[in-house]
Structure 1
């Protein structure tokens, strides 16, 4: 039962020994609106408004000299939200529900921020390990706590995104597997519950992509 339950999240399913399901991560590129129309479409206008709003919000968190860096975080949000939404479609592999994808997104960002901060703002990074107003007796413990909290940041980013995406999928799978043994009245209630859960999962897909991008922006702003 457990093997069948988690088989829908198995990244090793393949055709001719090729893991083609991971190609679903690139399907989001098909949803990006193209700009060769004579007049913008409604989808392109909507997406332009979304990206412009995110650019303004991320720019507030960044320093004035790093305003252009918001483009990187908007692209990160776009990649995650497209993959989260694609995972809600039947028979589409959800790459963001695996630590292989989420950790590959979080770890390079965190590593680049840390290297930039320690090489360019060394004194500030050392000072950041001891919060202002810390008693001298607690300084060694605060250095240890701050160091551990910085190290686990990519892990928390990756686990948060993967856990939230796989939790809703598991609940939908469990409810769907019980449909064959229910009476028609209970089946209608089950379908209604699944529609509500699917709507909540769509909201979670957007929220988790936004949280991932915002936290990455905050980590970048801390090293400046």
Structure 2
């Protein structure tokens, strides 16, 4: 019995925990992409990669060759981490701000430094939207500055909160199974299966949202 509902997300339940090493399980799937004869999974993954490449290329609106590979790699890492976290006894690393902030903060910081160093006028113009009355300009500068500063936080919190919410609900429902009758237990199992399907969709959607928003943020500074 868990002493705390959030203990299932605790990365340091022992003195030396191997929970964070489960984040490296994604590398077990990479060698299958380099077989001489591609599998069906490789064809599906290549199709997803090409689709993301076309979409990110339009969003970034950049002439830099290979600029979409960074966002595709980011999407792949987050997606594999989210999906692997649905399996039993595998630590969900993306449910912690220590990982999501480590992904969002360097990206945002690099975009800001690049934009303010190379496109200072363009960055200043973003602080005041076109058509803003002169009276509201100081307020718009404050609002736009705050919205820019909180971007890495919103990226990190959105991903970790969505991962925690579904896992918490499944844990909470699973702990009540021993107190239920057979009829209610069948309904609980069906509900857990539906939640697992929903969490699988959330795992894919949140990785896509994280990478798309990062791409949109980068397009503003180039």
Q: CA 1:183–1:35 in 2, change beyond 3 Å: closer, same or farther? A: closer
The equivalent residue for 1:168 is 166
Alpha-carbon distance between aligned partners in 1 of 2:187 and 2:33, rounded to the nearest angstrom: 44
In the alignment, the residues of structure 2 paired with residue 173 and residue 70 of structure 1 have an alpha-carbon distance, to the nearest angstrom, of: 37
| 1:194 aligned partner | 192
User: Following the alignment from structure 1 to structure 2, what is the Cα–Cα distance between the partners of residues 60 and 69?
Assistant: 11
Q: Residue in 2 aligned with 1:159? A: 157
Task: Please report how far the alpha carbon of residue 145 of structure 1 lies from its aligned counterpart in structure 2 after TM superposition.
Answer: 0.2
Q: Which moved more, 1:4-13 or 1:101-110?
A: 4-13
Aligned residue number for residue 103 of structure 1: 101
Rounded to whole Å, the distance in 2 between the matches of 1:160 and 1:36 is: 34
Residues 111, 218 of structure 2: 8 Å contact kept: yes
Report the counterpart of residue 132 of structure 1 in structure 2: 130
SS at match of 2:128: coil
Partner of 1:55, secondary structure, is helix
C-alpha deviation, 1:205, in angstroms: 0.1
Query: What is the match of residue 182 of structure 1?
Result: 180
Q: Is the 8 A contact 1:179 1:190 kept in 2?
A: yes
Greater than 4 Å deviation, 4+ residue runs: none
Give matches, 1:35-74, under 5 Å.
35-74=33-72
Structure 1 residue 207: Cα displacement = 0.1
Deviation at 1:24, TM superposition (A): 1.1
1:214 alignment partner in structure 2: 212
If the length of structure 2 is used for normalisation, what is the TM-score? 0.97
Separation in 2 of the partners of 1:55 and 1:125?
26
Q: C-alpha root-mean-square deviation of aligned residues, in Å?
A: 1.3
Is 1:129–1:147's contact at 8 Å kept on the other side of the alignment?
yes
Deviation string for 1:11-30 (max 9, x for gaps)? 1123xx32310011110111
Deviations 1:39-89 (A, max 9, x none): 111111111111111111101111241351110000000000000001100
Compute the TM-score of the two structures, normalised by the length of structure 1. 0.96
The Cα offsets for residues 182-221 of structure 1, whole Å up to 9 and x where unpaired, read as 0000000000000000000000000000000000000000
Structure 2 gap ranges (5+):
none
